[in-house]
Amino acid sequence: MSRFSKYFLMKESDISDYVKEKIDFFNKDARLTVKEIGDGNLNYVFRVFDEAGGTSLIVKQAGEQLRISADMRVSTDRNRIESEILTIQHKYAPGLVPKIFQYDTVMCACMMEDLSDHELMRYALMKHKTFPRFADDITTYMVQTMLNTTDIVMEHKAKKALVKSFINPELCEITEELVLTEPYNDVNKRNIVFPENAAFVKKELYEDRALHLEIAKLKFDFMNNSQALLHGDLHTGSIFVKQDSTKVFDPEFAFYGPAGYDAGNVVANLFFAWDNGYAAGEKQFCDWTIKTAEEVIDLFKQKFIRCYKQNATDVMAKTEGFAEYYLNSIITATAGYAGCELIRRTVGMAQVKDVTTIEDKAKRAYAERVNILCAKNLIKNRAKILCGADFTSALKDAASRA
């Protein structure tokens, strides 16, 4: 009997046998080298390569305990969700996601295209590299994967079947707690507050009742608005880039939710890159992050309306003015969720290296105050945030007040 017929957490030394047994990809006599390269909070990622043959692939396995904390356990079904959504997204956004070769329900592992010729976007941005294709690619990805999975385009019973298959309660619960609850009350005592900003965080986040009301609205929208099939964790650690290519991966938080959640995450993570560039005095890079954040919103709007008008199938969705109404509500939600991501990565349990690696304490404290002030403006005034420049004005305004 195969030793891979019952789930266990694989180590580097298991992977060569696993791959040879499960997939006809390498030459039979290939000498495979395996390296664990996982960098996220949840899973184990192995790069398998045959140096002689010049071929490689990735094995990604879900562990029962999370890497970020052994106390947190999440269903390994997330690996199925990830494989299935990547297959759907490949159909709608070809070339913008990795190819899935195979998914194994027993070992909760999938094998996929190796993207080692790309860089993880967060780390590339921390070196202050810029990517001219990014805004165009990420907006194509978002419009195609989101709009095509809504009731605007899909037959409604088929859409409901997808909603059911992407029910992802445990991963959504992580977001509901880490993003949409704890940053405002530290109810589970997991927040990590930079000591220099403790009084600021208490006043601006823990004691701002009007902010809490807005977060409650966004939280219940996140839980109840099954609008589009989302990536669910679309930060710059979920994106590989090179100058002429963008690939979105790691969609294990995928579920049917409000479209603005993904778009908000993209904008917020460009603002973390700005934080890092500003602390390093990299003005040109900062200008690029601002221009790119604006393009992400403005191109998203343009492409969304065009795709909507071409592909809407629902009779009532074709009513004059509805496309614009629907898109505006997504941009409003984008502002709200960008604010949530900015705040939770600044004071919550899962932070971002763009900010935490700023060595100078005063500069890091400043970056964190910029994030919080910008976020509060985006959240509280989200109904008035309509275009890319409105998002970046919130950042510039926060930078002058922090």
User: Applying CB under 6 A, which residues contact ligand SR1?
Assistant: 40-42, 66, 68, 72, 174-175, 178, 233, 350
CB of 177 vs ligand SR1, minimal distance in Å: 9
The item of ligand SR1, Mg ion, none sharing an interface with residue 174, based on CB under 5 to 8 Å by kind, is: ligand SR1
Binding mask of the shown chain, residues 1 to 40, with x at each position contacting Mg ion by CB under 5 A:
---------------------------------------x
SS (H, E, C) the chain: CCCCCCCCCCCHHHHHHHHHHHCCCCCCCCCCEEEECCCCCCEEEEEEEECCCCEEEEEEEECCECCCCCCCECCCCHHHHHHHHHHHHHHHCCCCCCCEEEEECCCCEEEEECCCCCEEHHHHHHCCCCCCCHHHHHHHHHHHHHHCCCCCCCCHHHHHHHHHHCCCHHHHHHHHHHCCCHHHCCCCCCCCCCHHHHHHHHHHHHCCHHHHHHHHHHHHHHHHCCCEEECCCCCHHHEEEECCEEEECCCCCCEEECCHHHHHHHHHHHHHHHHHHHHCCCHHHHHHHHHHHHHHHHHHHHHHHHHHHHHCCCCHHHCCCHHHHHHHHHHHHHHHHHHHHHHHHHHCCCCCHHHHCCCCHHHHHHHHHHHHHHHHHHHHCHHHCCCHHHHHHHHHHHHHHC
- Under rule CB under 5 A, residue 137 binds Mg ion: no
CB of 350 vs ligand SR1, minimal distance in Å: 4
Q: Judged by CB, which is closer to ligand SR1: 40, or 388?
A: 40
CB of 269 vs ligand SR1, minimal distance in Å: 11
- Under rule CB under 5 A, residue 348 binds Mg ion: no
Segment near Mg ion (CB under 5 A); pick from 88-96, 145-153, 246-254, 314-322:
246-254
CB of 67 vs Mg ion, minimal distance in Å: 10
- Under rule CB under 5 A, residue 368 binds Mg ion: no
- Under rule CB under 5 A, residue 354 binds Mg ion: no
CB of 254 vs ligand SR1, minimal distance in Å: 12
The item of ligand SR1, Mg ion, none sharing an interface with residue 275, based on CB under 5 to 8 Å by kind, is: none
CB of 82 vs ligand SR1, minimal distance in Å: 12
Site for Mg ion in 248-267 (CB under 5 A): 250
The item of Mg ion, ligand SR1, none sharing an interface with residue 14, based on CB under 5 to 8 Å by kind, is: none
The item of ligand SR1, Mg ion, none sharing an interface with residue 68, based on CB under 5 to 8 Å by kind, is: ligand SR1
Site for Mg ion in 36-75 (CB under 5 A): 40
Q: Judged by CB, which is closer to ligand SR1: 45, or 402?
A: 45
CB of 348 vs Mg ion, minimal distance in Å: 15
**Nearest one of 225, 253, 241 to 341, comparing CA atoms:** 253
Q: Which residues in this chain contact Mg ion in the complex, by CB under 5 A? A: 40, 250
